[in-house]
């Protein structure tokens, strides 16, 4: 007899947009439409009819998918009451482009929102409509989904195309290897202290209305029941209220233009014209080789929640590399996922724990400098754009045309401030990460001087009993070209938006 | 800290005076004519903050009428040496600016003697934390210059150091630094000895407190059961309102932050009513004071290494507590550290404030309720109008690195293991 626990599913997948559960990897064609509402009634009618894909696993898998997300101005335009919008998080409501947020995220100078192609101040889109499909079905899917009413409903369209680089990102490194494993059925007891790095993350970190890594439910709009919201699910912690956030999440989108020529020419110069050495330096900056292999060895001890298919590239932590001699502290993947736990030592005795908590633990300079990662995970769902430019070509040919390439970065998280923004500000843009100084993320940093520190363009490769190698004057390789915070609603919430009066 | 009650009708004038000290919101002009902070060689941090507490009304939650508190202007300075010496210098260098500022406060007239007035309004901290005692502004600057010099030297000669063993690199750099010192390009003063008077006071305090505790311990044991019973009752029944910080307040704070790698934190709140909470807080502040003086390791407040300094001050009586600190990184990261590394230390004093998330046995829970806690702390934060830091761009961890670099150069020879570790600092 089947174990009921095995078949029971906590989450109603039919209510969740599929992007939370799937990356739609088989659907190699994708386009993102950023639109403003032209006619509210027509937009609502279109939304009501839109065949939004849910997260139920289907056999055979679908060949197309449609996902829809909303900005705060978009909700307002659709007529959502201000009191309802106020229930969403501050970051979402204020948007990505306020002055202090730009400072926090490193969106200054060349990255400043004033120069963005889309999403700049006063130019926030209302909706993000995401089309995915297998190439042969894609165009007709987009046409049929838009239907006859699309142009009546929407205006100021910005269409962002994507390209399929076979799993690489434009710089030529394998991408999307590591993703958190969502604890869909809340099987894992959220620990008070997590003593091992785990790849399993609480459902509430990626879906509103469920317990997060603190064992609490993140704030979201709770509504008094009335005729307009009868279909919404009740809040699990306040059953008398309707939970507009439940089964929805926040979607962060940023267009990151990557200057592939500049990166590879820089590496090539640093390596005195040796492409293999240039690739090695690149690997130090990324923290993985171009093929995606980590610079620290794979461990034999399993890490819970690691996808069995990616063990050879994901079953590792930096515990055996405390000085960063294999993978530099500043390497992109070490900054963005330090793979640590809540404690600087594994399985300390109760007494040892107390000693550490009170500050009498190890005294090494680099010990215990990085926040516990489990509160700062994101689910990445981005796609590349632009044509492929291989490193070999990038260093050989002069820039022939103005073609641009990069990443439409997309991530999902339930708390933008604690997840995406923390990651971007405290880890990626921070010039003081983990005991380093004078350097931000080697790929994403904006190299802008900060008060008192004229130099932020270094990259340090710690030596093993030798002097570190410090690469200096890194140019800016990535420029932010657009961005916005969206809410990716549940299907029930989507229908509520479509009917909101 | 100086605490001066503002004349309400002069508030706008005072605010604009304070604003005039900044180049931009959150960024002080260190040479501003009112108080030219940069001229003070012993000043680490300074701030002027109007303690505009938007949470005084929270007493209503308990059914108590709202107390009227004067609106205070607070001036805080983290300094080296004796307070008396600093205050004298302050009055000497900035008499007109201080007069202009304090003339907006009650009881200050054109013929008031500045120094006696300041002394009258002094408000001592109940407890204070300093990242590394004895590390003076002068040393911080000398050590930063040392790090800079080594960095440039290595940048210009990197290839000649490439394949050398750690001890050889150490010896070469030591020779370089000695030469720089001889040429007058670097100064590294020794660590100044702790004044004898200070040391005696410290020893007396170190021994006195446990002795006092021992003396009153029979009494403590007697009341402990009643205390704990009552504490648990309150912890379970105290109202726990969840009030979200207003957007305007939140945004004003955010606009003033993250202009340097370090930020000021100024917060205050009202104590829960009743003797038990007041006594608890008093006791806890004594413990914190004792721990920061005698127990805590340099550079580490528990596991947290991003706090330059912090102080706990009872504001105008015993009903409100202020907490002021200088911390590295953004507010979200600061709170993250508090929740995940130092929750117990935060709960033990803040849980006596109205509206704090529920604690268990004073230490547990509380800040672990992340969302409630973050809104609570943001609501209780007041905008710091003017904030000065003597060494922009340097974090507490930077200061520790530079100190370790200097100390490593003080040995004439160094072991293989030490040399390897020292080398990782460069």
B/e letters for B415-424, b = 16+ CB within 10 Å, e = fewer, are eeeebbbbbb
Question: For B360-413, how does the pLDDT look when each residue is reduced to its tens digit (9 = 90+)?
Answer: 999 999 999 999 999 999 999 999 999 999 999 999 999 999 999 999 999 878
Question: For B320-365, how does the pLDDT look when each residue is reduced to its tens digit (9 = 90+)?
Answer: 999 999 999 999 999 998 899 999 999 999 999 999 999 999 999 9
Name the packing angle between helices B137-161 and B396-409 (round to 10°): 70
For A207, how many CA atoms within 13 A lie in the half-sphere containing its CB?
A: 28
On whether residue A280 sits in a domain, the answer given is no
Q: How far is the C-alpha of A69 from the C-alpha of A487, rounded, in Å?
A: 5
Nearest to A100 among B164, B254, B344 (CB): B254
Question: For A470-497, how does the pLDDT look when each residue is reduced to its tens digit (9 = 90+)?
Answer: 999 999 999 999 999 999 999 999 999 9
Name chain A contacts of B255, Cβ cutoff 8 Å. Answer: 99-100
For A109, how many CA atoms within 13 A lie in the half-sphere containing its CB?
A: 10
For A215, how many CA atoms within 13 A lie in the half-sphere containing its CB?
A: 11
Provide the 8-state DSSP code for A292. Answer: -
Q: Please, what is the average pLDDT of chain B?
A: 93
Q: How far is the C-alpha of A378 from the C-alpha of A416, rounded, in Å?
A: 9
Q: What is the pLDDT of residue A318?
A: 96
pTM over 0.90: yes
Complex-level ipTM: 0.94
Strand A200-202, strand A181-183: pairing: parallel
For B175, how many CA atoms within 13 A lie in the half-sphere containing its CB?
A: 5
Q: How far is the C-alpha of A277 from the C-alpha of B262, rounded, in Å?
A: 38
Name the packing angle between helices B275-290 and B196-237 (round to 10°): 140
Q: What is the pLDDT of residue A501?
A: 52
Q: How far is the C-alpha of B259 from the C-alpha of A103, rounded, in Å?
A: 8
Q: What is the DSSP string of A28-97?
A: -EEEEEEEEES-HHHHHHHHHH----BS---SSPPSEEEEEEE-HHHHHHTT--HHHHTTS-HHHHH-TT
CB spacing of B392 vs A368 below 8 angstroms? no
Distance from CA of A237 to the nearest CA of B (A): 14
Q: Provide the number of structural domains found in chain A.
A: 1
Q: What is the pLDDT of residue B297?
A: 87
Q: How far is CA A86 from the centre of its chain?
A: 24
Q: How far is the C-alpha of B292 from the C-alpha of B308, rounded, in Å?
A: 13
Domain parsing of chain B, residue ranges: 2-134+194-389, 140-191+416-423
Name every residue whose Cβ is closer than 8 Å to that of residue B162 and which is 6 or more positions away in sequence.
A466, A467
Q: How far is the C-alpha of B302 from the C-alpha of B20, rounded, in Å?
A: 38
CB spacing of A468 vs B424 below 8 angstroms? yes
H or E element at residue A487: strand A478-488
Q: How far is the C-alpha of A344 from the C-alpha of A361, rounded, in Å?
A: 9
Name chain A contacts of B254, Cβ cutoff 8 Å. Answer: 98, 100-101
Question: For B293-305, how does the pLDDT look when each residue is reduced to its tens digit (9 = 90+)?
Answer: 999 888 999 999 9
Percent of chain B as helix, strand, coil, to the nearest 5: 50, 15, 30
On whether residue A279 sits in a domain, the answer given is no
CB spacing of A452 vs B394 below 8 angstroms? yes
Name every residue whose Cβ is closer than 8 Å to that of residue A297 and which is 6 or more positions away in sequence.
A316, A320, A326
On whether residue A42 sits in a domain, the answer given is yes
CB spacing of B370 vs A323 below 8 angstroms? no
What pLDDT tens digit does each residue of chain A (501 aa) get? Answer: 334 444 456 899 999 999 999 999 999 999 999 999 999 999 999 999 999 999 999 999 999 999 999 999 999 999 999 999 999 999 999 999 999 999 999 999 999 999 999 999 999 999 999 999 999 999 999 999 999 999 999 999 999 999 999 889 999 999 989 999 999 998 888 777 788 899 999 999 999 999 999 999 999 999 999 999 999 999 999 999 999 999 999 999 999 999 999 999 999 999 999 999 999 999 999 999 999 999 999 999 999 999 999 999 999 999 999 999 999 999 999 999 999 999 998 888 889 999 998 889 888 999 999 999 999 999 999 999 999 999 988 888 666 667 899 999 999 999 999 999 999 999 999 999 999 999 999 999 999 999 898 999 999 999 999 999 999 999 999 999 999 999 999 999 999 999 865
Strand partners, B22: B28
Sign of CA dihedral B320, B325, B330, B335: negative
Q: What is the pLDDT of residue A240?
A: 95
Distance from CA of A150 to the nearest CA of B (A): 36
CB spacing of A364 vs B421 below 8 angstroms? yes
CB spacing of A432 vs B255 below 8 angstroms? no
| Peptide linkage before A114 cis (omega within 30 of 0) | no
In angstroms, how far is the first alpha carbon of chain B from the final one? 38
Q: What is the pLDDT of residue B159?
A: 83
- Closest residue in B to A435 (Cα–Cα): B397
Q: What is the pLDDT of residue A399?
A: 65
Q: How far is the C-alpha of B5 from the C-alpha of B8, rounded, in Å?
A: 9
CB spacing of A422 vs B336 below 8 angstroms? yes
Please answer whether residues A280 and A469 qualify as being in contact, where contact means their C-beta atoms are separated by less than 8 angstroms.
no
Q: How many other CB atoms are found less than 10 A from the CB of residue A436?
A: 23
Q: Mapping DSSP to helix (H, G, I), strand (E, B) and coil, where does residue A125 land?
A: coil
CB spacing of A366 vs B424 below 8 angstroms? yes
Shortest CA distance to A201 belongs to which of A192, A188, A216, A210? A188
H or E element at residue B86: helix B83-93
Name the packing angle between helices B370-380 and B331-341 (round to 10°): 130
Phi, psi dihedrals of residue B248, rounded to the nearest 5°: -65, -40
Please answer whether residues A319 and A286 qualify as being in contact, where contact means their C-beta atoms are separated by less than 8 angstroms.
no
Percent of chain B with pLDDT over 70: 100
CA angle in degrees (0–180, nearest 5) for B62-B65-B67: 115
On whether residue A325 sits in a domain, the answer given is no
Q: How far is CA B202 from the centre of its chain?
A: 20
Please answer whether residues A317 and A327 qualify as being in contact, where contact means their C-beta atoms are separated by less than 8 angstroms.
no
B/e letters for A200-213, b = 16+ CB within 10 Å, e = fewer, are bbbbbbbbbbbbbb
On whether residue A219 sits in a domain, the answer given is yes
Q: What is the pLDDT of residue A193?
A: 79
Strand A469-471, strand A459-461: pairing: antiparallel
Name chain B contacts of A467, Cβ cutoff 8 Å. Answer: 154, 158, 161-162, 164, 169, 423, 426
CB spacing of A468 vs B254 below 8 angstroms? no
Nearest to B258 among A94, A104, A465 (CB): A104
H or E element at residue A129: strand A127-133
Interface test with A, best of B140, B302, B330, B373 (most A CBs within 10 A): B330
Nearest to A359 among B303, B336, B392 (CB): B303
Q: How far is the C-alpha of B268 from the C-alpha of B280, rounded, in Å?
A: 17
- Closest residue in A to B403 (Cα–Cα): A365
Q: How far is the C-alpha of A397 from the C-alpha of A50, rounded, in Å?
A: 45
Question: For B311-321, how does the pLDDT look when each residue is reduced to its tens digit (9 = 90+)?
Answer: 999 998 889 99
Q: What is the pLDDT of residue A400?
A: 63
Name chain A contacts of B154, Cβ cutoff 8 Å. Answer: 467, 470
On whether residue A436 sits in a domain, the answer given is yes
Distance from CA of B242 to the nearest CA of A (A): 11
Region B90-112: what's the mean pLDDT? 94
Strand partners, B301: B304
CA angle in degrees (0–180, nearest 5) for B197-B37-B405: 65
Distance from CA of B246 to the nearest CA of A (A): 10
Q: How far is the C-alpha of B373 from the C-alpha of A278, rounded, in Å?
A: 48
Q: Mapping DSSP to helix (H, G, I), strand (E, B) and coil, where does residue B383 land?
A: coil
Q: Mapping DSSP to helix (H, G, I), strand (E, B) and coil, where does residue B19 land?
A: helix
Distance from CA of A216 to the nearest CA of B (A): 7
Q: How far is the C-alpha of B129 from the C-alpha of A251, rounded, in Å?
A: 41
CB spacing of A468 vs B165 below 8 angstroms? no
Q: How many other CB atoms are found less than 10 A from the CB of residue A171?
A: 25
On whether residue A305 sits in a domain, the answer given is no
CB spacing of A431 vs B344 below 8 angstroms? no
CB spacing of B371 vs A453 below 8 angstroms? no
Q: Which residue range is the domain that position A127 belongs to?
A: 1-261+373-501
């Amino acid at each position: 007899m089947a174990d009921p626990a095995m078949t029971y599913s906590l989450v109603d997948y039919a209510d969740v947009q599929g992007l939370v559960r799937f990356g739609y990897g088989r659907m190699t064609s994708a386009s993102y439409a950023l639109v403003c509402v032209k006619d509210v009634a027509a937009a609502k009618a279109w939304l009501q009819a839109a065949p939004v894909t849910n997260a139920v696993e289907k056999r055979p898998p679908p060949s197309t998918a449609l996902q829809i997300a909303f900005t705060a101005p978009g909700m307002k335009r659709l007529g959502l009451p201000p009191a309802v919008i106020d229930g969403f998080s501050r970051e979402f409501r204020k948007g990505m482009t306020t002055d202090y947020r730009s400072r926090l995220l490193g969106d200054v100078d060349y990255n400043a929102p004033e120069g963005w192609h889309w999403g700049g101040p006063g130019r926030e889109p209302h909706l993000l409509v995401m089309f995915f499909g297998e190439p042969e079905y894609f165009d007709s899917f987009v046409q049929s989904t838009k239907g006859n009413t699309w142009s009546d409903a929407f205006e100021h369209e910005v269409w962002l195309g994507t390209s399929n680089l076979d799993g690489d990102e434009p710089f030529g490194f394998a991408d999307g290897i590591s993703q958190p494993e969502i604890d869909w059925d809340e099987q894992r007891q959220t620990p008070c202290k997590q003593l091992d790095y785990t790849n399993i993350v609480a459902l509430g970190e990626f879906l509103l209305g469920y317990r997060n890594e603190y064992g609490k439910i993140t704030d979201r709009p709770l509504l008094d029941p009335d005729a307009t919201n009868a279909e919404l699910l009740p809040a699990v912690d306040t059953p008398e209220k309707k939970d507009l956030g439940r089964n929805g999440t926040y979607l962060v989108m940023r267009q990151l233009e990557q200057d592939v020529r500049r990166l590879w020419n820089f590496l090539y110069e640093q390596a005195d014209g040796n492409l293999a050495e240039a690739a090695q330096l690149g690997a130090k900056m990324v923290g993985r080789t171009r093929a995606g292999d980590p610079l620290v060895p794979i461990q034999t001890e399993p890490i819970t929640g690691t996808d069995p298919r990616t063990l050879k590239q994901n079953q590792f932590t930096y515990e055996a590399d405390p000085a960063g001699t294999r993978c530099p502290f500043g390497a992109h993947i070490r900054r963005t996922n330090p793979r640590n736990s809540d404690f600087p030592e594994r399985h300390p005795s109760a007494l040892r724990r107390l000693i550490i908590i009170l500050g009498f633990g190890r005294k090494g300079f680099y010990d215990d400098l990085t926040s516990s990662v489990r509160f700062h995970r994101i689910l990445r769902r981005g796609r590349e754009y632009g044509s492929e430019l291989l490193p070999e070509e990038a260093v050989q040919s002069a820039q022939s045309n103005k073609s641009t390439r990069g990443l439409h970065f997309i991530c999902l998280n339930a708390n933008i401030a604690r997840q995406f923004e923390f990651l971007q500000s405290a880890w990626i843009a921070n010039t003081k990460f983990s005991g380093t100084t004078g350097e931000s993320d080697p790929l994403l940093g904006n190299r802008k001087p900060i008060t008192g520190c004229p130099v932020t363009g270094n990259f340090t490769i710690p030596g093993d009993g030798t002097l570190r190698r410090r690469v200096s004057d890194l140019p800016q390789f990535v420029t932010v070209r657009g961005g916005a915070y969206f809410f990716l609603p549940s299907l029930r919430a989507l229908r509520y938006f479509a009917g909101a009066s | 800290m100086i605490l001066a009650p503002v004349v309400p009708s002069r508030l706008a004038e005072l605010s604009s005076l304070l604003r005039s000290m900044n180049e931009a919101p959150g960024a002080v002009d260190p040479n501003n004519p009112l108080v030219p902070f940069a001229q003070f060689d012993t000043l680490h941090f300074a701030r002027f903050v109007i303690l505009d507490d938007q949470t005084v009304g929270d007493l209503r939650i308990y059914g108590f009428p709202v107390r009227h508190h004067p609106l205070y202007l607070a001036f805080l300075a983290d300094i080296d040496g004796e307070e008396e010496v600093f205050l004298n210098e302050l009055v000497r260098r900035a008499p007109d600016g201080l007069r202009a500022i304090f003339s907006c406060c009650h009881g200050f007239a054109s013929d008031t003697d500045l120094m006696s007035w300041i002394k009258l309004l002094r408000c001592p901290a109940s407890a204070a934390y300093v990242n590394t005692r004895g590390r003076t502004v002068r040393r911080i600057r000398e050590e930063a210059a040392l790090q800079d010099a080594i960095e440039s030297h290595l940048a210009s000669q990197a290839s000649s150091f490439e394949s050398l063993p750690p001890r050889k690199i150490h010896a070469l750099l030591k020779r370089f630094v000695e030469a720089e010192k001889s040429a007058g390009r670097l100064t590294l003063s020794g660590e100044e000895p702790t004044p004898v008077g200070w040391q005696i006071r410290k020893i007396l305090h170190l021994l006195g407190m446990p002795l006092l505790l021992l003396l009153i311990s029979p009494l403590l044991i007697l009341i402990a059961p009643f205390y704990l019973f009552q504490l648990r009752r309150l912890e379970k029944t105290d109202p726990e309102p969840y009030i979200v910080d207003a957007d305007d307040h939140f945004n004003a704070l955010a606009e003033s932050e993250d202009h340097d790698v370090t930020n000021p934190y100024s917060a205050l709140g009202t104590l829960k009513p009743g003797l038990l909470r007041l006594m608890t807080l008093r006791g806890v502040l004594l413990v914190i004071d004792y721990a920061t003086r005698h127990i805590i390791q340099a550079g580490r407040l528990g596991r947290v290494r991003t706090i330059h300094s912090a102080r706990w001050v009872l504001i105008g009586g015993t009903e409100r507590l202020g907490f002021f600190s200088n911390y590295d990184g953004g507010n979200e990261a600061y709170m993250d550290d508090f929740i995940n590394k130092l929750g117990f230390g935060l709960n033990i004093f803040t849980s006596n404030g109205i509206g704090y998330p529920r604690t268990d046995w004073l230490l547990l829970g509380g800040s672990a309720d992340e969302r409630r806690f973050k809104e609570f702390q943001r609501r209780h934060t007041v905008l710091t109008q003017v904030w000065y830091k003597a060494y922009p761009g340097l974090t507490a961890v930077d200061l520790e690195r530079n100190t370790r670099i200097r100390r490593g150069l003080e040995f004439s020879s160094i072991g293989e293991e030490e040399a390897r570790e020292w080398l990782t600092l460069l």
